[in-house]
Chains A and B, each alone.
Chain A
Amino acid sequence: MYLIVLLLPFINAFFLGFCGRLIGTIGSGVLSTICMGSSTLIALLLAYEILVNDAVVHIELYKWVESEILITHVGLLYDTLSVTMLLVISSISTLVHIYSTSYMSDDPHVPRFLCYLSLFTFLMMVLVTSDNYLQLFIGWEGVGVCSYLLVAFWTTRIQANKAAIKAIVVNRVGDVGVILGMILIYKTIGSLDFSALEAGFVKPPILDNGARLDPWAPWAPIGILLLIGCIGKSAQLGLHTWLPDAMEGTDSNGSRAPQHKWTAGVFLMIRSFPLFEKAPLALLIITIFGALTAFFAATVGLVQNDLKKVIAYSTCSQLGYMVLIIGIEGSHNVGLFHLFNHAFFKALLFLSAGAVVHSTNYDEQDMRKMGGLIHSIPFTYTMMLIGSFSIMGLPYLTGFYSKDLILELTYSGRNMGVPYFISEQGHHLESLEGSIGSQGGDKRPWGGAEGSGPAPLAPPLIALWPESEPSRGSAFAFWLGTFAAFLTAFYSIRLVYITFIISPNSSKESLISSHINIVDKRVLTVLSLLCFGAIFFGYLFQDILIGDIEHPIVPPFIKVLPTLAGVFGMSLSLLLYWGFDSIGPLFILPIYSFLGGAWQFNHTINKLIAIPFFNFGHWGTYKTLDRGWLELFGPQGAGYLGTRVSQAISNLQSGVISRYALVLLSFTIIFLSLWG
């Protein structure tokens, strides 16, 4: 059972990939529905066993890599985290498979597409169920590769190809972070198993130089390196640029699956949380990155006109929330909870958007060319609206349960790193050393980390800081997060309003055809199921996933602030769009274009990194060095020199007797003078 849940998607991918032509379009739909459906059922059984019965299953399959003391097994680990992820992945992925069979029904390459999807699902499952970092990296790279394939699914579109290359190259930057992080973890703990992460703190880290109680064990660099990986994979600020291109370049369906991929980064962070507990600085950086991403993506989402781009940026923003809460000490499960919830309402939004796009005549993605679709596709409108409400965090929908909690926890700011590095900037290094050193004095060198207790540094630090008001880092994150919530509400309602409600901007044929292309039963079922998830799952699963986390005590105003921000953003959006057709004139134009160009990240990276490096590659390394200096001083120079020297020597043999006599005479004189 533990293996089959993984193998079913792989078998599906295998058969669809190699025998896709034999199976055919319908057959591949049936096969993948069966495989993925049974995989989901097994995942449900596993969820019963692991989540409800509270068991942890760990299976070691075979020894994978062994070199000196680096021993890694291929193993499967089923605990709360991985089973939750498994449940999300298998269920959403099954729905996406079913949806795709309807959505892609007129495409000639359905089996290939479903094969990519299944492979993606398989690798994502490998990622979440692995019991060590090295195996996790299979899934980590694999999902990157699969999303490359999915983005470039319609291979003839040049935009899709550019986006695909960009996606995989930017992801590699993140992968370097993960590789280096893994190496540092191995150097510090001596193992790459997750089980050693917990145990690694109880016993002192194994270092070859015998430093057993090294206070400078590189937890913070590890944290930052893993964060880089997460930034690359989860499209956080700085390495997010592949995401909107992937959305834009692909036509609507290739972009749906990568939404799992974004969660991979967050998953990695949650999985390696025991490490982060050691690294207050890394936690602080995580929080700040998360908050900045949430804010940045939300601002950019405000002015996008591409339906899918808006949703992509909103995903980016929500991932920012997840990363943010991981940086708050002790609340990573809330990140998992938000991930879980987000998977459902974002899948609802994406699939509805796909339905919208598909319903128009020319697969139109530009919202400005839509409008009035509420009359032709009311069901999709409903789904979209519910998804938007859920993402805004309107009370008692799924999004509310996690998003609200995230902001509250952020405000209450149990981030141990923050007071440390902000309030005692002058002395933090000494005091850190002192505190660890003093703890190293007693019997527990790694600071009270017995079992899964609180983080070692937490008690003295929290005591330093009054509970009631947030530290500066937390406050920064909280206010950015709240503002992002306001922006989320604004752009979500803007999306729904422009697409569905305002008077139609498209041609009559398009509207009529959208009525004709009404969603078929498969899409309808999928959307309804997701809609159920988007409404109820937050309530249903909160006890299982975050049962041990209490809502912090915060002032009432703070408590309602996120909701208020949401409502305010919603009403502001409605207010503005009642009066104006476009948001353009409202902004000052430079700001508008700055946001529209996504803060000009692409431009900067192209001008500063890509083009100079490529020029260097051609003119510097290839033309100047390789075909220039090295050849000149190598074979060509030697050949030239050789001919010149031999020419000179042969010139000496001129046949003129007087010259020979001169040479003879001069050598005789030289030898005589030397001997004499």
Chain B
Amino acid sequence: MNWVLSSLLFLPPLMGIFHLLTAGALKSPARQWGSYGSALKRIALFWSFISLISTIILWLSLDQEGGFTPLMDIDWIEGPEKIIPITMGGPLVFAVDGISIYFIILTGFIVPCSILISWHSVKYLTKGFLICMLILEFLLYAVFSVLDIFMFYILFEGVLIPMYLILGIWGSREEKMQAAYYFFFYTLIGSVLMLLCLFSLYNIHGTTDYLTLASCSHVPSQQQQKWIFLGIFLAMAVKIPIFPFHIWLPKAHVEAPVAGSVLLAGILLKLGGYGLVRLSWPILPLGAQNLAPAVIAMGIVGIVYGSFATCRQIDVKRLVAYSSVAHMGLVSITLVTHDIIGLTGSIFIMLAHGIVSSLLFILVTILYDRHHTRLIKYYRGLSITMPIWGTIMIVTSLANVAVPPSGNFIGEYLSILSSFNWNPIIGVFVCSGVILSAVYSFYFANRVTFGASGSLITSPRDVNRREFYITASMIFFAFLIGVYPIFILEVIQNSLFFIAL
């Protein structure tokens, strides 16, 4: 039990929630700063920044050799034996290792960004919105650090609730209900299957403790592993999303408020990938090996299909969403090729894509805030009226197509390398995504940014200071992890060696 580290991780969001709840009652001095809503936002922002700083401290105090740094263990369902005779396998352990810490930092980074970017766009129920954000942050921290697959499942589904609320309450249009319905339809079907699989795992092992499962990964027979993996994979495939289960994503993105889009693209999609990293090779190696070809086929279809669909979108948010489908196809391929290079590459893509696609959504929202349309056809020549925005847009597009010094390049290169190792033909297919991503990214960036400025939109205003700080810092990190990736790569690989192989 490491009280310092666990309170570093979990306390700031909880404190933020508490502070927000009491803010109205206590008549805090924050009232004097401005309006009530603004004060609330400042509180939430403050605590999310504290949280970001404490995740970085956590990262610095991490076990660099790849082992788990324990945070805390709670006696959970296992109570006095007379009352509840079943045990769910010992205490509930929260721990952090080199894989989860980067997702935690990403969460800690994205949440303040999304609070900042929705500073003016959330106009009603501000307090509820901010509480939702902080609860989401807390749940994400928990889901990335829990070492019990049953609790993982609960938190995994628990993340949906604040997300669903954000989507349904603060969404932009009437169709938000349909989007929320799609979102729930897919994720619930997937999670039911996953729950069944977790139960059968518990049946086999008698525990749901992750490390125990990982150390007895050879116990279930091949047939069992295959079915269990299939169930878990379907749940994750919905989240990632992989090809036939992806259609909730564009809808959800289009209808979601900006913070929802950013969190969805930045972290929630990565939750599926993270789940696969944790649950596929370490605990079900035979199942993963058996079903790898199917997963890879779906991934390839996802890349090509997603890219083609992206090329013809005229709604900017849907365009970015489809490009996420294409990128995540690559991630899903390399998650199952079973070598360190591939796993590292896919984790790296997830991190880089978490930053870059969030940034794309932020940029799109900046446009939407000014002109209230998301159709590409209305936009032209923004580099004249919004030069800073145009510059950031072009640079982000470059990162999105994985131009070398960006983090996406490192991930993409390692992924292609790994898939090529698995089968050269796969590598060639994967490379088609390299070309097509250039087609859609530059079509979009060029169409919007360059050209003579049109007469269809008025009142051009460049990014303001708040937006600039967010976007510039995100670009900085997107390229920093590409220029000097070794400080991430080493720890990830040590941890992968520790659990996956």
Contacts and interface: CB of A to CB of B under 8 A. Distances in A.
B428 interface: yes
B247 A630 contact: yes
Interface stretch (A150-158, A390-398, A544-552): A150-158
B219 to A, nearest CB: 28
B176 to A, nearest CB: 15
B378 interface: no
Interface in B403-418: 403-405, 409-410, 413-414, 416-417
A63 B486 contact: yes
Interface stretch (A41-49, A375-383, A471-479, A617-625): A617-625
A138 B404 contact: yes
Contact of A614 (B311, B383, B427, B490): B311
Interface in B242-282: 244, 247-248, 250
B11 interface: no
Given A145-B398, A155-B450, A634-B247, A176 B434 contact: yes
Interface string B426-463: 01100110110011001100100111110000000000
B403 A156 contact: no
Contact of A156 (B339, B384, B420): B384
A306 interface: no
A594 interface: no
A152 B446 contact: yes
A345 B413 CA distance: 38
A187 B446 contact: no
Q: Which of B394, B410, B486 has the most CB of A within 10 A?
A: B486
B308 A179 contact: no
Contacts of A519: none
Nearest to B431: A176
B193 interface: no
Interface string B480-497: 000011100110010000
A621 B414 contact: no
Contacts of B434: 172, 175-176, 179
Contact of A66 (B313, B428, B486): B486
A149 to B, nearest CB: 8
Contacts of B398: 145
A67 B345 contact: yes
Given A155-B451, A168-B442, A183 B340 contact: no
Interface in A636-666: 638-639
Interface string B164-187: 000000000000000001100110
Contacts of B449: 155
Given A155-B383, A161-B450, A617 B311 contact: yes
Contact of A183 (B244, B420, B439): B420
Given A156-B384, A614-B312, A617-B312, A64 B438 contact: no
B309 interface: yes
Contact of B185 (A179, A621, A638): A638
A134 interface: yes
Interface string A603-628: 00000000001101110111001100
B309 to A, nearest CB: 4
Contacts of A187: 420-421
B305 interface: yes
A180 B427 contact: yes
Interface string A139-170: 01110010011001001101001001100110
> Contact size class for A?
35 or more
B308 A621 contact: yes
A179 B413 contact: yes
Contact of B308 (A140, A173, A616, A631): A616
Pick from A173, A187, A626 the residue with the most CB of B within 10 Å. Answer: A626
B316 to A, nearest CB: 15
Contact of B186 (A63, A169, A635): A635
Nearest to A69: B341
A70 B403 CA distance: 20
B384 A635 contact: no
A134 B413 contact: yes
B341 A630 contact: no
A622 B440 CA distance: 14
B55 interface: no
Nearest to B428: A180
Given A152-B446, A161-B450, A187-B420, A169 B308 contact: no
Interface residues of B, number: 59
A68 interface: yes
A67 B493 contact: yes
Nearest to A177: B431
A613 B307 CA distance: 11
B405 A138 contact: yes
Contacts of B432: 176
B381 interface: yes
Interface in A100-154: 134, 137-138, 140-142, 145, 148-149, 152
A134 B345 CA distance: 15
Contacts, number: 141
B247 A626 contact: yes
B450 A179 contact: no
A134 B403 CA distance: 12
A211 interface: no
Nearest to A161: B450
Nearest to A622: B309
Contacts of B439: 169
B446 A622 contact: no
A64 B410 CA distance: 10
A529 interface: no
Nearest to B410: A65
B309 A67 contact: no
B431 A65 contact: no
A625 B246 CA distance: 12
Contact of B489 (A67, A158, A613, A638): A67
Given A618-B312, A635-B186, A164 B446 contact: yes
B235 to A, nearest CB: 16
A187 to B, nearest CB: 7
Interface in A34-79: 62-68, 70
Contacts of A616: 308
Interface in B210-250: 244, 247-248, 250
B301 to A, nearest CB: 10
Interface string B374-385: 000000010110
Given A155-B451, A622-B309, A65 B403 contact: no
A175 B401 CA distance: 12
A186 interface: yes
B493 A142 contact: no
Contacts of B427: 180, 183
A63 B339 CA distance: 21
Contact of B381 (A145, A155, A638): A155
Contacts of B451: 155-156, 158, 161
A168 to B, nearest CB: 6
A65 B485 contact: yes
A141 B412 CA distance: 14
A21 to B, nearest CB: 10
Contacts of B421: 187
A621 B449 CA distance: 27
A120 to B, nearest CB: 14
A68 B247 contact: no
A156 B381 contact: yes
Nearest to B497: A68
Nearest to B184: A635
B403 A145 contact: yes
25 contacts: A65-B414, A66-B486, A66-B490, A67-B345, A68-B340, A68-B341, A141-B404, A155-B451, A156-B453, A161-B446, A164-B442, A168-B442, A172-B435, A172-B438, A176-B434, A176-B435, A183-B416, A183-B420, A617-B309, A617-B311, A617-B312, A620-B308, A621-B305, A630-B247, A634-B185
Given A165-B443, A168-B442, 8 more contacts: A137-B404, A156-B453, A179-B434, A183-B427, A187-B420, A622-B309, A635-B247, A639-B181
3 closest Cβ pairs, A-B complex: A617-B308, A138-B404, A155-B450
